[in-house]
Amino acid sequence: MTDTARTAFVAGLVQMRSTRDPARNRDDAVALVREAADRGAHYVQTPEMTSLVERDRARLFAAVGPEDQDPTLAALRDVARQKGIVVHIGSIAIKVGERIANRAFVIDPSGSVVARYDKVHLFDVDLPNGETWRESATYTGGTEAVVAALPWGGLGLSICYDLRFPYLFRAEADAGASILTAPACFTRQTGEAHWHVLQRARAIENGAFVISAAQCGTHEDGRETYGHSLIVDPWGRILADAGTEVGVALAEIDMGLVADARGRIPTLQHTRSVPVSVPGLAVRGAA
């Protein structure tokens, strides 16, 4: 990386429609990361569940293994080294004892894993259209926030449902993150309602870039995901939106915009811890 690339770099988003076949997904991810690198990306991010989208618990456990045996991780480490880029795997399902971790990896240009993050907030929800999700039945949640040191600044890690918890992103910004991430497998229904506004909110309230690759379309396990991989600048402006199809999106990142936004509206400096009072309300006719 040149000195110039330390203050301005090109970020690439890989948008996927991962299947039930880890080998196919690995090959697709490798091809798309290579494409992004060939188009000038210094940093490339893949979505949550890059190597496998599988709702059936038995099939999921049969298809995944421990970290040191994961072929997608090994293949993308090779690509990072060959292309001399940073590769951020949004997440891979990794077997950890009797459960599974939803784990992100940041790989440096030498092919070394420099950061790992396990999804903290698990998606246990009942949606209005009848969809029910219970990630906690299969996955083990992470317990700490992670900020990876990149040549351009701190990279705050999160995964999908974490996006709804602003305190996680504020903790990462306070710890030095100037780029925040939320690679995802967002459902179509929740994505249509909340994806863009949440991404922009996390960027604005922290004066940081937000870079989030996503899954898209109808998957083999029956789920529908929203797509729209996004890059948002610290003022909340969308620099790249991948739409709803598989592919690559790029944007140039000017890290000077972080200092500019935080200087104009210094929310990180103005954060206060305040007590909460809950006054009682007298109700007419109550016994």
Per-residue pLDDT reduced to its tens digit, 134-161: 787 788 999 999 999 999 999 999 999 9
Q: State how far the Cα of 268 lies from the Cα of 60, in Å rounded to an integer.
A: 41
- For β-strands 99-107 and 224-226, DSSP reports them as unpaired
Q: State how far the Cα of 7 lies from the Cα of 257, in Å rounded to an integer.
A: 10
pLDDT at residue 5 tops 70: no
Per-residue pLDDT reduced to its tens digit, 80-137: 999 999 999 999 999 998 899 999 999 999 999 999 999 999 877 777 766 676 787 7
- For β-strands 209-212 and 177-181, DSSP reports them as parallel
User: Which pLDDT score is estimated for 131?
Assistant: 65
Judged by average pLDDT, the poorest of 7-11, 96-100, 175-179, 230-234 is 96-100
User: Which pLDDT score is estimated for 190?
Assistant: 93
Dihedral (C-alpha) 66, 119, 207, 211: value to the nearest 10 degrees? 50
Per-residue pLDDT reduced to its tens digit, 161-216: 999 999 999 999 999 999 999 999 999 999 999 999 999 999 999 999 999 999 99
Q: How confident is the model at residue 3 (pLDDT cuts 50, 70, 90)?
A: very low
Residue type at position 222 = G
Q: State how far the Cα of 117 lies from the Cα of 110, in Å rounded to an integer.
A: 20
Residues 102/133, Cβ–Cβ less than 8 Å: no
- The one-character DSSP state at 187 is B
Between vectors from CA 224 to CA 33 and to CA 180, what angle results, nearest 5°?
Answer: 50
Instruction: Evaluate the CA torsion angle 28, 30, 35, 39 in order and state its sign.
Output: positive
Indicate the SS3 state at residue 201. helix
DSSP string covering 255-277: THHHHHHHHHS-HHHH-------
> How far is the CA of 35 from the CAs of 31, 39, 215, in angstroms?
6, 6, 17
Per-residue pLDDT reduced to its tens digit, 246-279: 999 999 999 999 999 999 999 999 999 899 999 9
Q: State how far the Cα of 245 lies from the Cα of 216, in Å rounded to an integer.
A: 6
HSE on the CB side for 231, CA within 13 Å?
22
Residues 226/195, Cβ–Cβ less than 8 Å: yes
Q: What is the mean pLDDT of residues 75-79?
A: 98
User: Which pLDDT score is estimated for 4?
Assistant: 38
Place of tokens 């109808």: 218
pTM reported for the whole predicted model? 0.93
What residues are annotated to the active site?
A: 48, 119, 160
Per-residue pLDDT reduced to its tens digit, 22-54: 999 999 999 999 999 999 999 999 999 999 999
Residues 172/201, Cβ–Cβ less than 8 Å: no
Task: Please give the distance of CA 135 from its chain centroid, rounded to a whole number.
Answer: 17
Indicate the SS3 state at residue 170. helix
